[in-house]
Amino acid sequence: MSEFEEHIFNLILIGGFIAAVISFAILMRFTAPYGRYMRPGWGPEVPRKIGWVLMELPASLVFAIFFLAGSASYSAPAWIFLFLWQSHYIPRSLIFPFRLRPSGKTNPLVIVCMAILFNLCNGYINGRYLRVHAGSYTNEWLRDPRFITGLALFVFGFVLNQHSDAILLRLRKPGETGFKIPFGGAFRYVSCPNYLGEIVEWIGWAVLTWSIPGLLFAVWTGANLIPRARSHHRWYREKFEDYPRDRKILVPFLY
């Protein structure tokens, strides 16, 4: 990495941690205006499906470009990193958006642009870091407790996220547009198991790569999704009188 690139890389890392703290503080007071909180007054809007593809595809592409650039020889752990990253982002950018119902909804362009910027930076710092340090992850890393624990967390979070999203996406029959109380799976315990899964997944990533970019991604995910889970929980309770009282926000039995 050249000295100039190292400056940029560190700037993104430091700026990212500061921005995560600021975002968390703002989002705990103010709910981001997308999804069920979409409201006019946020400028131009983008069809939701297109928005999701535009937001998420850069994470997959930029990571792959920076990870595979040059002529490094990759060990098994490095290929596993690439596989895990893409197994999250390819379905998220190319399958998930086309399962959203109904199709006519929109999100503010400004939110889409912020997510694109985040995914460009996040794809770059994670892909570039793992490329530069590819040599440090020898096959020995596969037996390291950090890799094994992180991988278990990642897989658990991934399955929880996918399963919970699938329950949500099945709630609406064709032609329906409203909201229902989700039941089944981890919805028995919390209002937002899909967000819990996503947070656990990226904590797993941070542990299995044992990297600062991985840690930043986990922190960002929490800073974004903990306040949103809080908003969803409050929204469900206000909207549905019969909403299960013992259901927590995000962490079973605790929060």
Distances (CA, A) of 205 to 172, 175, 194, 229, 248: 32, 38, 17, 21, 25
Nearer to ligand NDP, 75 or 194 (CB): 194
- Residue closer to ligand NDP by CB (options 81, 201) is 201
Indicate which single residue of 221, 233, 247, 249 sits in contact with ligand NDP (rule: CB under 6 A): 221
Two tokens, residue 44: 């131009």
Residue 47 preceded by cis peptide, ω within 30: no
CB of 132 to ligand NDP, least distance (A): 24
Supply the minimum distance, in Å, between the C-beta of residue 59 and ligand NDP.
9
76 or 169: whose CB is closer to ligand NDP?
169
Label residue 97 exposed, middle or buried (CB < 10 Å: 0-12, 13-18, 19+). buried
Does residue 170 belong to the site contacting ligand NDP (CB under 6 A)?
Answer: no
Q: Indicate which single residue of 57, 224, 231, 233 sits in contact with ligand NDP (rule: CB under 6 A).
A: 224
Q: Specify whether the CB–CB gap between 7 and 66 falls below 8 A.
A: no
Which is nearer to ligand NDP, 58 or 77 (by Cβ)?
58
Binding mask 19-58 toward ligand NDP (x if CB under 6 A, else -) reads ----------------xx----------------------
Binds ligand NDP by CB under 6 A, chosen from 93, 119, 126, 161 = 161
Q: 180-184 — which CB contacts under 8 Å span 24+ positions? A: 181/236, 181/240, 181/242, 181/243, 181/244
AA letter at 188: R
Q: How many CB atoms lie within 10 A of CB 232?
A: 21
Exposure letters 185-223 (e unless 16+ CB within 10 A, then b): ebbebbbbbbbbbbbbbbbbbbbbbbbebbbbbbbbbbb
Give the binding range for ligand NDP (CB under 6 A) out of 64-72, 127-135, 203-211, 219-227: 219-227
Cβ distance to ligand NDP smaller for residue 35 or 244: 35
Q: Which of 195, 200, 209, 250 binds ligand NDP (CB under 6 A)?
A: 195
Contact 155, 204 (CB under 8 A): yes
Residue nearest to ligand NDP (CB): 198
Q: Cβ of residue 254: shortest distance to ligand NDP, in angstroms?
A: 19
Name which position in 8, 100, 110, 148 contacts ligand NDP (CB under 6 A): 100
Which residue type is seen at 141? W
Interface with ligand NDP by CB under 6 A: which range of 3-11, 17-25, 130-138, 168-176?
A: 168-176
CA distance 31 to 26: 8
Q: Which residues bind ligand NDP (CB under 6 A)?
A: 35-36, 100, 105, 161, 165, 168-169, 171-172, 179-180, 182, 194-195, 198, 221, 224-225
